[in-house]
Chains A and B, each alone.
Chain A
Amino acid sequence: MDDTTSEKRERFQNNNLLQAWLVLTLALIFGISLAGVQAALGPKIEANKIKETMEKVPEVVLGLEAAQKLAASGETLNIQSRIIEVSKKNKKKFYTVYEAKFQDNSVAGWVAKAGGQGYADKIELLVGIDALAENITGLFILDQKETPGLGNKISDTAWRDQFIDKPATNPLVVVKDKSQGASNIDAISGATISSVSVCGIINQTISDIRPELSSTKKD
């Protein structure tokens, strides 16, 4: 009789769930506190991301100088975002496009958010297109993890400025010999893959959304 009670007690004490009571309680407490942290900070983090994009839209559409001049004169662009859906080969792709309008409601240009594989990791960028959807107005790299000192030069102003006023009607071509050409982009030495990736993302994005933008322009 005594044997069975002590056996029962031992089995009870060895019960896995009972042994893990501390782990389970802590998991519950920590889970609740993390939910609290996320509830408090989540909107702020999301706002940081949107703020960064919105701050860059005028620069990408108008160029840095004109954007600063506009900001100094106290005017702002009206920026509206919309999603453009592109279906190709039974696949659907979605692009977030920001439409920037002057105060008099004339279109200043469009900025598309795009992403794709780089050398190391995903590259996220903003590419600006003018009101007629014929020229590229600027480029900004939102997120990249390319090699420091080489591939991360895609974020440098000097390299990004090459894209300004390149035609949006023809795909960009990456060159290594600095040869001049309407659609030529000089590759970063030591980071050809990063350069090609950025141009590839831009070519793909523009060819996908340009028909859509040209049709809205006529409305």
Chain B
Amino acid sequence: MAEQPTALERFVQGILPENPVYRQLLGMCPTLAVTNGMKPAMTMACSVAFVLLCANVVTSLIRGLLKPHLRIVVFTLTIATFVTIADRVLAAYLYQMSKTLGPYIPLIIVNCLIICRCEVCASKQNVFTAASDAVGQSIGFGLALASIAAVRELLGTGGLFGIPILPAVWPDWVIMVLPPGAFITLGLLLGCVNWIEMRRGANAGN
């Protein structure tokens, strides 16, 4: 069996080399749905980080007890529990934000990113490695959401975090905050990331 990456490698990989959105194409649902503004995108990134960290730690703690054919049930159960906690906490302390995010917080349960990290890392490695993997992947996910949300909110409303930045003459490109804007932005940014990767690969080959 191939040697597993160390905690540090897991952490670094999550941020850019194995970025959940740009390299693994995981967690597309929130990536497209809640990136019409920086505030909802960051709330979503924090909720995912909380769920991912808790789910990875719990899965890693019970990894010795897991049975191969029952592991997915255990993952889902663990993830669902922490998502429900996150949902309730948001409704209690950030009521307006929880109304804005609507069904997308409960939908973290089926976010492939989290179940993928439980399967790939947490169910095979110790708690420390699993936790640093979760933190690295969460930072990567947060950065990806921030990049898409920044483009969409800036072009769509002329501001960031609800604060106007572009001059008032900017004609707000409403399509950027609508669903098509999510696909356009994600496609273009993905293309950019792939282009940069290909150039880096070509340079390394020379």
**Judging by beta carbons under 8 Å apart, are B81 and A33 in contact?**
yes
Across-interface contacts of A149 in B (CB, < 8 A): 174, 177-178
Which 6 interchain pairs have the tightest Cβ spacing?
A: A30-B81, A48-B95, A41-B92, A44-B92, A149-B174, A45-B91
**1/0 contact string of B92-131 vs chain A (CB within 8 Å):** 1101000100100000000000000000000000000000
Size class of the B contact interface (CB-based, 8 Å) = 20 to 34
Mark B residues whose CB is within 8 Å of A. 36, 62, 65-67, 70, 73-74, 77-78, 80-81, 84-85, 88-89, 91-93, 95, 99, 102, 174, 177-178
A22 at the B interface (CB under 8 A): yes
Once the chains are docked, how many angstroms separate the CA of A145 from the CA of B100?
9
**1/0 contact string of A140-159 vs chain B (CB within 8 Å):** 00010101110000000000
Across-interface contacts of B91 in A (CB, < 8 A): 41, 45, 48
Number of interface residues of A (CB under 8 A): 23
Across-interface contacts of A148 in B (CB, < 8 A): 36, 177-178
Across-interface contacts of A44 in B (CB, < 8 A): 92-93
A81 at the B interface (CB under 8 A): no
A-B contact pairs, 21 of them (CB 8 A): A19-B70, A26-B78, A30-B77, A30-B78, A30-B80, A33-B81, A34-B81, A34-B85, A37-B84, A37-B88, A38-B88, A41-B88, A42-B88, A45-B88, A45-B92, A45-B95, A48-B92, A145-B102, A148-B36, A148-B178, A149-B177
Contact of B77 among A26, A33, A41 (CB under 8 A): A26
Q: How far is the CB of A45 from chain B (nearest CB, A)?
A: 5
A interface SS class: helix
**Judging by beta carbons under 8 Å apart, are B74 and A23 in contact?**
yes
Contact of A147 among B77, B78, B93, B178 (CB under 8 A): B178
Q: How far is the CB of A190 from chain B (nearest CB, A)?
A: 10
Q: How far is the CB of B59 from chain A (nearest CB, A)?
A: 11
**Judging by beta carbons under 8 Å apart, are B77 and A23 in contact?**
yes
Across-interface contacts of A143 in B (CB, < 8 A): 99
Besides the known contacts A26-B62, A30-B80, A149-B178, 18 further A-B residue pairs in the complex with CB atoms under 8 A apart: A19-B70, A22-B70, A23-B73, A23-B74, A30-B78, A30-B81, A33-B85, A34-B81, A41-B88, A45-B88, A45-B91, A49-B95, A52-B95, A148-B36, A148-B177, A148-B178, A149-B174, A149-B177
Q: How far is the CB of A21 from chain B (nearest CB, A)?
A: 9
- A147: nearest chain-B partner, CB-CB: B178
Across-interface contacts of A49 in B (CB, < 8 A): 95
Q: How far is the CB of A145 from chain B (nearest CB, A)?
A: 6
Which residues 26-46 in A have Cβ within 8 Å of B in the complex?
26-27, 30, 33-34, 37-38, 41-42, 44-45
- B156: nearest chain-A partner, CB-CB: A149
A1 at the B interface (CB under 8 A): no
Across-interface contacts of B62 in A (CB, < 8 A): 22, 26
